[in-house]
Amino acid sequence: IFLNKHILVDIDFPYGSFLSLMGLCLSTCLSGGALYAGLASSEQLAGMTPSFYATRVGPIGAALALCLTTGNVAYLYNSVAFVQILKAFAPVVLMVLLFVSRLERPSAVLVLSILIISAGTAVAVQGEVHMSAYGVAVMLASEVFEAIKLITMQILLVDRKFGSVEGLFVMGPAAIVALAITSLLLEDVGDACAKVAANPLPFVAASMGGVVVNLATNLMVQATSALTLRITSLVRNFGVVIVSTWVVGDSHITDQEYAGFFFSVLGVAMYQH
């Protein structure tokens, strides 16, 4: 997170799609190499048809591409800590989509937790001094795309019995195509390539980090569920808020934002209970 923020802002690299594309290309190549070397199971690849790829994997790739792009762009307009606070609203988006898709049944506790998380996020947003409305909208869009990605990943990885490495290799090409199209249409690819060539180390490190995150996400969804992953991520987000505010010092969080974030975490804890 901090490295991506450094690349996007400090290195002046406002190309969220291109940055995500590099990490996903490396993830796909490494997962493909692991499958070819026999280090991971590839039993499901043989039975995959073009129709299955287009209807089941294609949406994952598109959602992943849009999630990564909008997630990176959000850091151009808001601080690291504030973006993490906004991510506390992600379980609400995910739960609503789970209700709509009938993968989760609504209950009084779930509805109450949604209301608490929503209220906490609203309080936090109102307390942000340097809030960018556009940045908030982009982050909310990223949460919608992430929820779609997680739900479709859960269906692909669990219901279809794809392994974590195999699933990463399968969805990689679809996401790469979507990211490449987005980057070509909306970004200055020539300038992006020039900046990467001039200072490659941060981009290599960010790409390697992307490999770890993508693989860990697949493993988590396969072992548990999309909503459990989202809740676990909230704990990570809390740590990022503390580090960004008290250690790195690149963010200033008001008492109202802390209060709103606390209520959001309380809502998530209620769901877990």
User: Could you tell me the residue ranges of all domains in the chain?
Assistant: 2-37+47-272
Whose CA is closest to 44, among 126, 184, 166, 200?
166
Locate 237 and state its tokens: 């987000």
Helix crossing, 200-223 with 133-154: angle to 10°? 50
Please report the pLDDT score of residue 187 as a whole number: 94
How far apart CA 188 and CA 200 sit, in angstroms, is 17
Residues 6+ apart with CB under 8 A from 57: 156, 170, 171, 174
- In the chain, count H helices and then E strands: 13, 0
How far apart CA 226 and CA 98 sit, in angstroms, is 9
Please check whether residue 192 is in contact with residue 18, taking contact to mean a CB–CB distance below 8 angstroms.
yes
What's 208-249 look like in SS3? HHHHHHHHHHHHHHHHCCHHHHHHHHHHHHHHHHHHHHHHHC
Locate 62 and state its tokens: 């598109």
Q: What distances in angstroms separate CA 146 from CA 13, 57, 117, 142, 152, one per listed residue?
A: 23, 15, 18, 6, 10
Residue 205, CA atoms < 13 Å, CB-side half-sphere: 11
Please check whether residue 98 is in contact with residue 191, taking contact to mean a CB–CB distance below 8 angstroms.
no
Please report the pLDDT score of residue 145 as a whole number: 93
How far apart CA 187 and CA 132 sit, in angstroms, is 21
How far apart CA 204 and CA 232 sit, in angstroms, is 27
Please report the pLDDT score of residue 122 as a whole number: 83
Please report the pLDDT score of residue 180 as a whole number: 95
Helix crossing, 16-36 with 164-186: angle to 10°? 150
In order along its 273 residues, the chain shows pLDDT tens digits of 778 888 998 899 999 999 999 988 998 998 888 888 887 777 767 677 888 888 888 888 899 889 989 989 998 988 887 887 888 788 788 888 888 888 778 788 888 888 888 888 888 777 766 778 898 999 999 999 989 988 887 776 566 667 778 878 888 899 999 999 999 999 999 999 999 999 999 999 998 888 887 777 666 666 555 556 556 666 666 666 666 666 666 666 777 877 887 888 788 777 766
Please report the pLDDT score of residue 98 as a whole number: 85
Please check whether residue 229 is in contact with residue 217, taking contact to mean a CB–CB distance below 8 angstroms.
yes
Please check whether residue 65 is in contact with residue 178, taking contact to mean a CB–CB distance below 8 angstroms.
yes
Phi, psi angle pair for 76, to nearest 5°: -75, -20
